[in-house]
């Protein structure tokens, strides 16, 4: 099947690690719920060491429990067994659209910010000859633009870098690699979302079965079906008993998105984009909704934990107990114990909703904050005829030949997508040509606990520039309406400084060069 989907090298799936007997671990967990003799082991479940008749009885019981819990939807037992995969030659579009579009996974993926993309590392689908030629020519041009922009941006990045680190300018050769990474981080915006990536991906058996059921959902049904089938085959070979729980993938026609995505209406797409952008008013992210009494909710939650009335602990003091690193030093720890600590859990009481527009490149990182979910778009609904993309700061700052090459690249990419449309290529494959810069618009929601942690990570000046800007917009918006909360939404160095943890910057030799902890948020600005 792989050969029929891609002209390029097929995705590679390797089962790296797995629970030894995940099926029987699930049944052992289920039986433990009703055991009066302690936790049940997998050997108990399979009747290891018993005579043949008793062992057969245990096996029959095992399978009855598996069938009944499966049919009843009692699936938490299947979360005990985990499987870890090495994935290579999968597209970044597939990772964004499918693997990372939910909260129940863990991944470590190669970074385009820090690792240069090698030639030929792009998914190329099987298309008719004329369409294939258009697709491959577009990919070659995008790769050429990427290389050219790295070269064009390096002197611009070097000027900005050594402007921050003046002492380093005396030995620039020692810092060439750091400058190069800044240039390639920006140049990657012209690469297609079809670019290959590799990663380690860990999920529970339950999540894998959910993958199986929904693997033909847009945007990447062909690639997802190919990869998920290989993942399931590897796990079923590891533990054949799991085949008893196998599910059939839903056909595309049975999926809720099928009806609306069958149409491609440019006028409707443009109307939705115009409506969304008008509300943004030029911001990257805007606050569109919140609990009207977030500050009181958090304060009440703190008082409930401490057993104190309002007369003994006013709102401002209660919020400081939970959010001020000078009073809650746990906030400065790298381990992020907020979800476990009692005071940390009071922050779940406040909620926010933000509308934001960022690029595919930025959102591929933003979505990794799995506790701040969003209504992320189906890219098939955004194959507009007009280029719609984000321009990185360094490109806008450079102007001239840099900006011209960047905008020309975007124009050529959209022209190629339109040429493929005219040749009848399905939207699924046209979307693979979209650049990392393509604009994504969505609403993201969060409680204060998850948002505070996200801001602490992404208000760092080393964070991806668009996520940094979105986080800054969000922190300022909250501070304007909820100053008792907003004043504590800080960069990691600011939190650590308030908590008295040294060094204030936790990044070591990756220090951004700006003493952010000494600045007011209104004075924050960055180019790199």
Q: Over the stretch 122-157, which tens digit does the pLDDT of each residue have?
A: 999 999 999 999 999 999 999 999 999 999 999 999
Largest Cα span, the chain: 82
Q: Residue 118 and residue 22: Cα distance in Å, rounded?
A: 38
422-445 b/e with 16+ CB inside 10 Å = b? ebebebbbbbbbbbbbbbbbbebb
pLDDT of residue 2: 60
Q: How many helices (H) and strands (E) does the chain have?
A: 22, 7
Neighbouring residues of 135: CB distance < 8 A, sequence distance ≥ 6: 124, 125, 127, 416, 420, 425, 429, 433
Helix, strand, coil share of the chain (percent; to 5): 55, 10, 30
Give me the architecture of the 2-110+196-259 domain, per CATH: 2-Layer Sandwich (3.30)
Question: For residue 407, with 0-12 CB atoms within 10 Å meaning exposed, 13-18 middle and 19 or more buried, which class applies?
Answer: middle
Q: Residue 443 and residue 373: Cα distance in Å, rounded?
A: 9
pLDDT of residue 384: 78
Residue intervals of the chain classified under CATH 3.30.1360.170 are 2-110+196-259
pLDDT of 410-430, one tens digit each? 999 999 999 999 999 999 999
Calculate Rg over the CA atoms of the chain: 26
pLDDT of residue 383: 82
Q: Beta partners for 192?
A: 435
Inter-residue contact 239 to 143 (CB < 8 Å): no
CA-closest candidate to residue 87, choices 117, 104, 109, 106: 109
Inter-residue contact 47 to 57 (CB < 8 Å): yes
**CA atoms within a 13 Å half-sphere pointing along the CA-CB vector of 104:** 15
pLDDT of residue 1: 58
Q: Which residues in the chain come in under a pLDDT of 70?
A: 1-3, 262
Cα–Cα separations (whole angstroms), residue 38 to 44, 342, 409: 12, 29, 64
pLDDT of residue 265: 77
Q: Residue 397 and residue 527: Cα distance in Å, rounded?
A: 8
Inter-residue contact 472 to 485 (CB < 8 Å): no
Q: Residue 372 and residue 498: Cα distance in Å, rounded?
A: 25
């Amino acid at each position: 099947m792989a050969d029929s989907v891609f002209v390029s090298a097929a995705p590679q799936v390797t089962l790296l690690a797995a629970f030894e007997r995940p099926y029987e671990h699930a049944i052992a967990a289920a039986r433990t719920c009703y055991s009066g003799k302690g936790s049940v082991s997998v050997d108990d479940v399979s009747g290891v060491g018993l005579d043949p008749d008793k062992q057969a009885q245990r096996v029959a019981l095992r399978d009855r429990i598996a069938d009944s819990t499966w049919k009843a939807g009692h699936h938490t037992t299947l979360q005990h067994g985990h499987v870890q995969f090495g994935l290579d030659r999968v597209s970044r579009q597939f990772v964004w659209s499918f693997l990372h579009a939910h909260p129940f996974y863990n991944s470590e993926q190669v970074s385009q910010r820090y690792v240069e993309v090698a030639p030929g590392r792009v998914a190329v689908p099987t298309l008719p000859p004329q369409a294939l030629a258009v697709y491959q020519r577009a990919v070659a041009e995008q790769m050429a633009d990427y290389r050219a922009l790295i070269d064009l941006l390096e002197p611009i990045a070097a000027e900005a870098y050594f402007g921050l680190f003046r002492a380093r300018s005396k030995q620039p050769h020692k810092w060439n690699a750091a400058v190069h990474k800044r240039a390639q981080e920006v140049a990657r915006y012209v690469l297609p979302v079809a670019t290959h990536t590799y990663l380690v991906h860990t999920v529970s058996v339950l999540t894998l079965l959910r993958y199986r059921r929904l693997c033909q959902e847009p945007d990447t049904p062909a690639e997802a079906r190919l990869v998920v089938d290989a993942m399931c085959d590897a796990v079923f070979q590891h533990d054949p008993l799991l085949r008893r729980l196998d599910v059939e993938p839903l056909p595309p026609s049975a999926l809720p998105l099928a009806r609306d995505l069958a149409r491609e209406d440019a006028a409707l797409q443009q109307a939705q984009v115009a409506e969304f952008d008008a509300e943004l008013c030029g911001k990257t992210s805007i606050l569109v909704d919140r609990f009207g009494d977030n500050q009181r909710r958090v304060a009440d939650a703190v008082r409930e934990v401490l057993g104190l009335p309002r007369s003994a602990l006013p709102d401002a003091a209660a919020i400081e107990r939970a959010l001020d690193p000078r009073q809650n030093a746990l906030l400065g720890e790298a381990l992020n114990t907020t979800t476990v600590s009692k005071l940390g859990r009071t922050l779940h009481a406040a909620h926010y909703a933000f509308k934001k527009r960022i690029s595919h490149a930025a959102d591929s990182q933003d979505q990794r904050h799995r506790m701040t979910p969003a209504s992320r778009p189906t890219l098939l609904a955004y194959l507009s005829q007009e280029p719609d993309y984000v321009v990185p700061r360094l490109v806008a700052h450079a102007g001239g030949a840099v900006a011209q090459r960047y905008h020309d690249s975007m124009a050529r990419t959209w022209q190629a997508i339109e040429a493929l449309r005219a040749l009848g290529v399905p939207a699924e494959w046209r979307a693979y040509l979209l650049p990392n810069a393509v604009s994504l618009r969505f609403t993201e929601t969060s409680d204060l606990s998850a948002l505070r942690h996200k801001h602490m990570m992404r208000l760092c000046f080393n964070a991806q520039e668009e996520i940094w800007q979105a986080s800054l917009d969000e922190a300022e918006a909250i501070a304007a309406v909820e100053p008792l909360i907003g004043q504590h939404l800080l960069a990691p160095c600011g939190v650590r400084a308030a908590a008295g943890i040294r060094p204030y910057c936790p990044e070591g030799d990756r220090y951004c060069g700006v003493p952010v902890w000494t600045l007011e948020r209104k004075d924050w600005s960055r180019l790199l």
